[in-house]
């Protein structure tokens, strides 16, 4: 016999639902409203339709050129971050102990970078990477003998923000991978030992397949965060030198607050959001297909 449904339970989630509507939907509708209008100041707005979107998506215009340049830097940054942090996080997770007092110590140490606020991370690396007073900058310039100045060199600036992000977020991939490794039954390893499987064979046939879903979640989280990153690179480089590290979020703030072009900034933020949603949908589709294939593998 089916249990009766108590619709009054929905009232328990109504406050949370109203809070989400107020904090997400209302601001989004405000941005959409700005994106189809233009202003000449004095809080006077004029209908512009899809004009800002046409200009934004046209690479021959000034706004479109800025958008595609910033988007290219964003995608490059996210690709570099994922290519480094995912393999490095898995390697760290494989190196962590499985039992004993060292487990707790390693977990605490791995979680420490994740507890540091984003603006503090940027401030730390802004000082740490300086060539005159920073330990990292002094080591690279005077010990290694490599010319390094993130305020004037494009490669140095990119190297700094990439290393900073790797230091800050590799722990997330490592902790997710470690949780996935701990969930693998010992029977798998015992069977591999009986068969005389090598360490590489154990990784490729047992550990990596079991980590597939965890890594998809980790890649999704890291892509979203790296694609929306703002505070850390802005504090360290401010988008410079020149526009070499001006990614979409930094360029968006420059247009909205620096130039006070609310219509252009709103249209860019809508397209920015749609790109993130599209990538999330792709990852969700992939994860769903992975879950659908798991019974067949069992």
Give the pTM: 0.85
Alpha-carbon radius of gyration of the chain:
24
Residue 296's pLDDT band, with cuts at 50, 70 and 90, is: low
Kindly report, residue by residue over 196-251, the tens digit of the pLDDT: 888 899 998 889 888 888 888 898 889 989 998 998 899 999 888 988 999 999 99
pLDDT score recorded for residue 297: 47
Q: 70-83 as b/e, with b when 16 or more CB fall inside 10 Å?
A: bbebbbebbebbbe
38: which strand partners? 46
Q: Which strand (E) or helix (H) includes residue 38? A: strand 37-39
Helices (H), the chain: 10-20, 26-35, 51-57, 62-95, 101-115, 118-128, 135-138, 154-182, 186-195, 199-202, 208-227, 231-236, 248-253, 262-297
Dihedral in degrees, nearest 10, Cα atoms 58, 61, 62, 63: -30
Dump pLDDT digits (tens) for 11-45.
Answer: 788 888 888 878 878 888 888 888 888 876 667 77
Nearest to 247 by CA among 274, 228, 260: 228
With bands split at pLDDT 50, 70 and 90, how would you rate the model's confidence at 8? confident
- Are 56 and 268 spatial neighbours (Cβ–Cβ below 8 Å)? yes
- Quote the pLDDT of residue 293: 67
Contact call for residues 245 and 237 (beta carbons, < 8 A): yes
């Amino acid at each position: 016999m089916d249990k009766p449904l108590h619709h009054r339970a929905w009232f328990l989630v109504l406050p949370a639902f109203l809070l989400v509507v107020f904090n997400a939907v209302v601001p989004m509708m405000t941005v959409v409203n700005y994106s189809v209008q233009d202003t000449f100041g004095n809080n006077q707005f004029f209908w512009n339709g899809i004009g800002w979107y046409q200009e934004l998506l046209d690479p021959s215009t000034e706004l479109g050129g800025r958008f595609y340049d910033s988007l290219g830097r964003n995608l490059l940054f996210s690709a570099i971050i994922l290519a480094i942090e995912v393999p490095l996080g898995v390697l760290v997770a494989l190196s962590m102990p499985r039992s004993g007092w060292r487990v707790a110590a390693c977990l605490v140490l791995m979680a420490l970078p994740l507890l540091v606020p984003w603006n503090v991370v940027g401030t730390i690396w802004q000082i740490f990477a300086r060539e005159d007073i920073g330990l990292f900058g002094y080591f690279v310039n005077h010990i290694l003998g490599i010319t390094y100045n993130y305020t004037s060199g494009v490669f140095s600036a990119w190297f700094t923000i990439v290393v900073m992000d790797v230091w800050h977020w590799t722990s997330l991939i490592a902790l997710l991978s470690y949780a996935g490794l701990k969930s693998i039954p010992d029977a798998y390893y015992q069977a591999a030992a009986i068969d005389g499987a090598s360490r590489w064979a154990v990784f490729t046939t047992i550990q990596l397949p079991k980590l597939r879903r965890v890594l998809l979640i980790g890649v999704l989280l890291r892509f979203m965060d790296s694609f929306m990153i703002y505070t850390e690179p802005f504090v360290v480089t401010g988008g410079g030198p020149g526009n070499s590290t001006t990614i979409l979020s930094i360029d968006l703030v420059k247009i909205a607050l620096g130039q006070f072009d609310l219509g252009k900034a709103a249209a860019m933020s809508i397209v920015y959001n749609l790109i993130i949603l599209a990538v999330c949908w792709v990852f969700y589709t992939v994860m769903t297909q992975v879950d659908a294939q798991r019974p067949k593998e069992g």
